[in-house]
Structure 1
Amino acid sequence: MLEKERQGVIWAMGAYLAWGVLPIYWKSIDHVQSDEILASRVLWAFIFTLLIVVLMKKTKILVVDIQTLWQNKKAFWSMFLASTLISVNWFLFIWAVNNNHMVSTSLGYYINPLISVLLGIIFLKERLSTAQKVAFVIATIGVIILTISYGSFPWLSFALAISFALYGLMKKIIPLDALRGLTIETLFIVPFALMYYMYLFISDRAVFFHDTIQTDLLLVLTGVATAVPLVLFAKGAQRIPLYMIGFLQYIAPTSMLFLGVIIYGETFTMIDFLSFSLIWLALILFTVSKVMEARLRKLELAKL
């Protein structure tokens, strides 16, 4: 492995491990309502990412990005939709973790790549190989078993998966640097976060400035917890092939599953294990097929 790729793997692994253990952070402030945590996350993520952009002397590029979006209404509204989707995803994630649904959260991020591919077929006219079709069938069987076991469809898992997959689709339409992209996304939502915080303070419901200094500090640092993994991921993604990201992305939901079952004592029955095993098998089939496709494409290009 080249030094550049090795560094990329380290950056990307750091990002996915950070995302995987992020539930510990949300658990540390579970006495704060999920809506206030979300407002804090949006506000402080915007401030923190903007500060990094300024320190990296990328302010002019950020202004150009915003001007370009403003001039292209389709891109502007796509970015606004992306901002809304990631906010919904963040809220669901925080709420799920702090209401002891970490296993459901991990399921959501396991099935997210499959939902992303499905969106690619619908909106980008992408095609599936035979192995990928088989993977979809196996994953569907796993979800059906879970649905029968729970007595209801796993809406939370699918809401997390679909919101993040749609967010990814929007980001594919508007390719932007990860850090500046997050700055602009939070810029769209930060006025709503500020208005909501004003409402919380007026109605005497705000925890910020009304609890311990530790809680205040943890709420402020939600911005750092949001931005740092994204910066690590951006650095990693620039240095490694897409198929490697395909393998590494399962670190996060696996870490969440481990935390939920082993650390926080959430229920994980044999039926859950069977369903997850089918989904894991589907993901292995899917990822291996994507790796084979990438290698064949590389060989074909080498022949030209």
Structure 2
Amino acid sequence: MSHSTSPDGRAVLTAVACYTLWGLMPLLFMAMAQAGFGAPEILAHRAIWSVFVAGALVLLVGQGAQARRVLGDPRTLGWLALSALLIAINWGVYVWATTHHATLEASLGYYINPLLNVAAGAVLFRERMDRWGAGAIALAAVGVAVQTAALGHLPILSLILALSFCAYGVIRKRVAADAATGLFVECLVLLPFGVALLVWLETHGAGGVGFSSTTGLIWALSSGLATVLPLVLFSSAARRLPLSTIGFIQFLAPTLQFACGVWAGEPFTLLRGVSFAFIWAGAGVFAFGAWRRSRVIREAIRESEPA
């Protein structure tokens, strides 16, 4: 875990690439839905094919020995099984949202998530939260309240996405396993469930698109690649950056998701607009606070340098 006041530049770029890919992922699932895939089949293929992509990555980066060591360590394996459960919940809800015209509600969850990361960083890792971070969280809370009024109920989908991924990030930050190894083990944990789900769908006439044609198989394989790549980037960045820095960069993903939802023609009411206005205000306050802190750090470094 990094405690440096100056974040690793390559780790920052890794996080930016990760959240760009996540932000554009709704387009993949929308296209798969148009090709005939249902949300459960997409989820099953993600669980199945991601293990092969993650396994190839483990071999490519020479972490085979580490993977065997993790699989033989019950404590580490237990933590990774828990993180696998959390990411499976996150995948399932997100796939359903993006294939059922709820991408805007999903993007709200990922606007909330960075602020949860800030709070988790302060509570669990003793990362300092200043008044800008506290103000951003307060504005986000108002945004959630307004969204509740707009929907007529709590934005459960948004909250599940935010809470599950925040908890996933906290666990992955604590687990003693490199990014590729940890993800491979998580995918191994999920593999039998993915196979069982796909078999159940096949026997009940609700699946089969992924194996019906070459095009269907390409879509299925792409879901595995799209699953693994950003998660590897995230796991790598999360272990090298403070959660507060991750939280700032993460605003990129929901902004792109929001754009995907609007592009897809999802309803955007006035009250929902007010809700997002509060969320965006929170993001703006947080970004300003992050910029202000970085300026103070640069000035302190400049003053400490010999003349």
Q: TM-score range by the shorter chain?
A: 0.7 to 0.9
Q: What is the rounded CA distance, in whole Å, between the counterparts of 1:244 and 1:174 in structure 2?
A: 19
Query: Quick one: which of 28, 38, 44 aligns to 1:25?
Result: 28
The alignment-based identity, stated in percent, is 31
- Find the counterpart in structure 1 of residue 59 from structure 2: 54
Deviations 1:1-30 (A, max 9, x none): xxx83x655544332221111111111111
Gaps of 5+ in 1: none
Shift of the 243–200 alpha-carbon distance from structure 1 to 2, 3 Å rule, reads: closer
Q: What is the rounded CA distance, in whole Å, between the counterparts of 1:113 and 1:139 in structure 2?
A: 10
- Find the counterpart in structure 2 of residue 230 from structure 1: 231
Letter in 2 for 1:14: A
SS in 1 for 2:153: coil
- Find the counterpart in structure 2 of residue 36 from structure 1: 41
Q: What is the rounded CA distance, in whole Å, between the counterparts of 1:200 and 1:185 in structure 2?
A: 23
Stretches of 4+ aligned residues off by more than 6 angstroms: 235-243
Deviations 1:76-132 (A, max 9, x none): 322211100000100101000000001111111011011223344555566643332
1:107-118 alignment runs, 5 A limit? 107-118=108-119
Q: What is the rounded CA distance, in whole Å, between the counterparts of 2:59 and 2:50 in structure 1?
A: 14
Q: What is the rounded CA distance, in whole Å, between the counterparts of 2:13 and 2:138 in structure 1?
A: 33
TM superposition shift of 1:177: 1.9
Q: What is the rounded CA distance, in whole Å, between the counterparts of 2:192 and 2:42 in structure 1?
A: 15
Deviations 1:256-291 (A, max 9, x none): 111111x20111223222221211221222344345
Q: Which moved more, 1:230-239 or 1:124-133?
A: 230-239
Shift of the 9–104 alpha-carbon distance from structure 1 to 2, 3 Å rule, reads: same
Q: Is the 8 A contact 1:243 1:287 kept in 2?
A: no
Letter in 1 for 2:132: A
- Find the counterpart in structure 2 of residue 221 from structure 1: 222
Q: What is the rounded CA distance, in whole Å, between the counterparts of 2:157 and 2:235 in structure 1?
A: 27
Shift of the 242–91 alpha-carbon distance from structure 1 to 2, 3 Å rule, reads: closer
1:92 aligns to 2:109 (yes or no): no
User: How many residues are treated as equivalent by the alignment?
Assistant: 295
Gaps of 5+ in 2: 1-7
Q: Is the 8 A contact 1:135 1:285 kept in 2?
A: yes
Q: What is the rounded CA distance, in whole Å, between the counterparts of 1:294 and 1:184 in structure 2?
A: 36
Q: Is the 8 A contact 1:179 1:231 kept in 2?
A: yes
Shift of the 205–277 alpha-carbon distance from structure 1 to 2, 3 Å rule, reads: closer
1:143 aligns to 2:144 (yes or no): yes
TM superposition shift of 1:227: 1.6
Q: What is the rounded CA distance, in whole Å, between the counterparts of 1:146 and 1:217 in structure 2?
A: 37
Q: What is the rounded CA distance, in whole Å, between the counterparts of 2:155 and 2:194 in structure 1?
A: 29
Q: Which moved more, 1:279-288 or 1:87-96?
A: 279-288
Q: Is the 8 A contact 2:121 2:242 kept in 1?
A: no
Letter in 1 for 2:112: I
- Find the counterpart in structure 1 of residue 198 from structure 2: 197
Shift of the 9–137 alpha-carbon distance from structure 1 to 2, 3 Å rule, reads: closer
TM superposition shift of 1:248: 2.9
- Find the counterpart in structure 1 of residue 286 from structure 2: 286
Q: Is the 8 A contact 1:243 1:294 kept in 2?
A: no
Q: Is the 8 A contact 2:116 2:166 kept in 1?
A: yes
Letter in 1 for 2:189: F
Q: What is the rounded CA distance, in whole Å, between the counterparts of 2:80 and 2:289 in structure 1?
A: 31
Q: What is the rounded CA distance, in whole Å, between the counterparts of 1:253 and 1:209 in structure 2?
A: 28
Q: Aligned-residue CA RMSD in angstroms?
A: 3.0
Letter in 1 for 2:77: F
Shift of the 144–234 alpha-carbon distance from structure 1 to 2, 3 Å rule, reads: closer
Deviations 1:237-270 (A, max 9, x none): 7888876644432221111111111x20111223
